[in-house]
Structure formats: structure tokens, C-alpha cells
Amino acid sequence: MEYLAHILAMAGVYVILTVSLNLVVGYAGLPAMGHSAFFCVGAYASSLLALNAGISPWLGILAAAVIAAVCGWVVSLSAVRLAGDILALATFAFAVVTHSIARNWIDLTRGPMGLPGIPPFRFFGLPLDTAWAFLPLVGAVCCLTFFLSKRLVESPFGRVLQGIREDEIMTASLGKDVPRYKRTVFVVGALLAGMAGTLYAHYITYIDPSSFTPMESFTILLMVVFGGMGSLTGSLAGAVLLVFLPELLRFMGLPSAVAAPLRQMTYGVLLVALMLVRPQGLLGKFKWR
């Protein structure tokens, strides 16, 4: 049962990541490919604050969210000037740079050695150091993320985002400050991803750069596309399904050298099959373009 709780906790982390990326990719139509960078920034920021300054994870999650949001704002400066494949490459390059910093800035991040002994969250003095103890916390953050994102996309702000996706020039002609909306949605997406990174770091209690490779951005994007772009419920379904389905391979008794590539093949087969049958994803409104 502890194993089931662990998978649910990891699914919760990916739900937050998927919902946050869907705001950028699904609703605003911006092809961002570097979401793992904000995940990484949030994890390392809160971990370093806890280990080096003794700051509580409860304050660390706020600090990490702000730092990730600042990074999102920096990336958004290119988002207002670039579009299409060029924007995708620029955001992916940011993920590559972030991973390189985490791997090579030994004095700060310890590089490939990672950061061990990250303290867990505590609730009234009780450590949330088991999967079942941590699960209510990640569940609460998931619900908060989903609720706030739903209010956002159903507000006039969300309708402008969808207008930018459908016809940016027409939206601008209606007097909307399109660059400001793009910057804002990038910041919101980065902030939520930073919170997910904090939850992950203080749950696992050990992080290293291998958890935040640029390829992780493709995994998160796959969850968005699989569940459905422009659908928060689809993000929830995509994250949960693509966390649980590969775990079934563990019960087949395959060696790790085979199971890891097979997991990636499973992702690919599922995506190709879905694109043939339902290009907009399970519950999505829009197609990837």
C-alpha cells in the first residue's frame, strides 16, 4: 500500500506540472518546451534554502515559487518576440542551460553528487516523511492549483489567452496588450512548476540533475497532449494515466535495462495511437500545432 501511495504522490506532482504547462501551451497556444527548468529551479531553490539557511519548507515553497516565477518572466521576454518552432527551441535551450548549471555548478548544487538529507515538510511537528503522510499535502496543492487555474481560464484573462491562441493579431486589434498576457501566463506556469519542484524535493529528500533533464519537459508536454490541450480535466487525466501505466511494466519482471526503454516506447505508441484516433487528446479542445 505504501507503493500505491508513492505512485499517487508522484502523480500529484505531475498533475501540478501538467496543469501549469497547459495554461501556457493549451490555452495561450505558446509552444513552450522547457518546463523542466522551472521544476528544477523550484526543487533546488527550496532544498538549498533548507539545507544552507535552515528555512522551513513551508517558507521554502513560497520562496521557490517566486524564484521560478522570476525565471519564467525572464523566459517570457523571448516569448513576446518569438513564435512557433523558434520559441519552442528557445524555451528548450533554457531547460538545457538550467540543467547544465545544476550539473556543473559544484559549489552550489554539488553537481552529479546531488543534495542528500533534504528535510521533509512538518505539520505541527510531525514529519511528512512517508508516502501516506505526504499524500494529503500534495493532494491539497493539486486541488488548489486546479481551482485557481480553473478560475483563471474562465475569467476574462483566460478568454484573452484563448484569443491569442486562435488569432493573435485579431486579439491585439481589439486593444488587448498581448505581450503582457504572454508574460503573465509564463510567470504563472513557472510559479506553479516551482511549487511542484519543492514538493518533489522535500518528499524524495534527495535530488540531483538527472531528475530534471531537458527530456523531462517532453514527458510533461506528452501528458498535456495526451490528456488534451485546453482542458484542465484532461491534464489531470493525462498526468495520472501516464504515471500509472508505465508502472505496470514493473510487474512483468523485466530487467531495468529493458524496462526503461520500453517505458519510452510505451509513451510513443500511446501518443501515436491517440493522434490517429483523437488528435485533440482525450478531453482536449485544441490540436497541437
Residue 256: the pLDDT is 63
Tell me if the pTM is above 0.75.
yes
pLDDT for 254 beyond 80: no
Task: Please report, rounded to a whole number, the percentage of residues in the chain having pLDDT higher than 70.
Answer: 93
**pLDDT, tens digit, 9 for 90 and up, residues 17-52:** 999 999 999 898 888 888 999 999 999 999 999 999
What's the rounded Cα separation, in Å, for the pair 110 and 236?
34
Question: How far, in whole angstroms, is CA 63 from its chain's centroid?
Answer: 17
Q: What is the per-residue pLDDT for 273?
A: 78
In angstroms, the CA 28 to CA 36 distance is: 19
State yes or no: pLDDT of 288 exceeds 60: no
CA–CA separation, 48 vs 108, rounded Å? 8
pLDDT in tens, 134-149: 999 999 999 999 999 9
Write out pLDDT tens, residues 38-88: 999 999 999 999 999 989 999 999 999 999 999 999 988 877 787 778 888
Residue 62 CB-density burial (10 A; 0-12 exposed, 13-18 middle, 19+ buried)? middle
More confident residue, 161 or 260: 161
Query: Which pLDDT tens digit goes with each residue over 153-209?
Result: 999 999 999 898 888 888 888 888 888 999 999 999 999 999 999 999 999 999 999
Cβ-based neighbours of 94, under 8 Å, separated by 6 or more: 34, 37, 75
Q: Which of 187, 189, 197 is nearest to 221 (CA)?
A: 189
